[in-house]
Amino acid sequence: MEASQFKSDQYVRFCPGCGDHAICMALQKAMAQIGIPTHEVAVISGIGCSSRMPHYLNTYGFNTIHGRGGAVATGVKISHPELTVWQMSGDGDCFAIGGNHFIHEIRRNVDLNVCVFNNRIYGLTKGQYSPTSAKGFVSKSSPFGTVERPFIPAQLVLGARGTFFARTLDVDMPTTVDCLVAAQQHKGCSIVECLVNCVIFNNGTHAWIADREQRAEHSIILKHGEKMIFGTNKDKGLAVEIDPVTFVPKMIVVPADDPRVLVHDAHQPDTTLHRMLALMGQDRIENVNAEVDNDLPIALGVIRNVEAETYDQAVSEQIQKVRTSAKARTFDEVTATLESWTL
């Protein structure tokens, strides 16, 4: 299939320079690569810049209300299990008003592909700080700097017993497409954090990795079964060191030829290493005044990808079991077994 088959006839109304343009193109390419017909795909969204996405994809789509994309997407998947269901959300839509739906679709492991566009700002409502804005961030709703600690999406996903988490960057098209394809192939709730730039209200929020000259030094693209190597010259690797006093493990940077360099295992059920990988580099964005005292890169690519029972499959099997064993299978049959009704 061709990416053009997934393009709708609607004019794309993202701001010029917005990172959402790149994710939209990556979605079209990924869907074409996956090869599922357009009429077997549904794209559900909430409210926000990223939530315009159903209009720009030639699939079934539904633009719901603020924060409720996860609830509607869950309903669509349960009622139409044959559909591939994508959910488009932003850091405000997903982690603020929609936070409760978000953690429970992860906990239930509903077979959904959830793209969270994280630009660390409310863009559609013109520049208020969001749940992922750094502490101290100055915005229209925090003129003296926010005093809140931000959510770290990966930490939230793993805490909700997530089975799939990937992180990608708007300017890295190949990695973004790979993450989206892997998300669809995963059976369960797949979360893809898309780091995107808001050129109007939070320009350069991911500049330390978006800049081509700095990216290789400040990020690592994880691939299952491959050594964790990064750097402009591919001369650095990641290893784990155990503190001899506290016995707390920590990630460290070592030479690429060091035998301690780790091999990425995205399929490991235990979350310990996945959590350590996902939290690397977060001190650079957690506080605007933070002084970074380590050279750990931020992890991109598929960090976690493990198997578990899906909610929609369990519901389907339960319904089928009840249908085959229950004496009364229809509403008329139920009412026929009762002598009287009290209203």
What is the per-residue pLDDT across 292-301, written as a single tens digit (0 to 9) for each? 556 899 999 9
pLDDT of 286 > 60? The answer is: yes
What percentage of the chain exceeds 70 in pLDDT? 96
pLDDT of 330 > 80? The answer is: no
| pLDDT at 327 (0 to 100) | 76
Find the range with the poorest average confidence among 32-36, 38-42, 192-196, 320-324.
320-324
The residue-averaged pLDDT of 25-49 equals 96
| pLDDT at 291 (0 to 100) | 63
| pLDDT at 315 (0 to 100) | 95
pLDDT tier at 343 (50, 70, 90 boundaries)?
low
What is the per-residue pLDDT across 74-95, written as a single tens digit (0 to 9) for each? 999 999 999 999 999 999 999 9
| pLDDT at 196 (0 to 100) | 97
What percentage of the chain exceeds 90 in pLDDT? 85
pLDDT tier at 339 (50, 70, 90 boundaries)?
low
| pLDDT at 298 (0 to 100) | 95
What is the per-residue pLDDT across 144-199, written as a single tens digit (0 to 9) for each? 999 999 999 999 999 999 999 999 999 999 999 999 999 999 999 999 999 999 99
Residue 198 has φ and ψ, to the nearest 5°, of -105, 100
Q: Which residue has the higher pLDDT, 333 or 146?
A: 146
What is the per-residue pLDDT across 109-134, written as a single tens digit (0 to 9) for each? 999 999 999 999 999 998 999 999 99
CATH (residue range 3-226+264-311): 3.40.50.970
The structural domains of the chain, with segments of one domain joined by +, span 3-226+264-311, 227-262
| pLDDT at 147 (0 to 100) | 94
* The total number of residues written for the chain in this structure: 343
pLDDT of 98 > 80? The answer is: yes
Find the range with the poorest average confidence among 35-44, 83-92, 125-134, 328-337.
328-337
| pLDDT at 334 (0 to 100) | 75
Q: Which residue has the higher pLDDT, 290 or 168?
A: 168
3-state secondary structure of 90: strand
| pLDDT at 199 (0 to 100) | 95
| pLDDT at 301 (0 to 100) | 98
| pLDDT at 340 (0 to 100) | 64
Q: Are 190 and 30 in contact (CB under 8 A)?
A: no
pLDDT tier at 259 (50, 70, 90 boundaries)?
very high
Q: Please, what is the average pLDDT of the chain?
A: 93
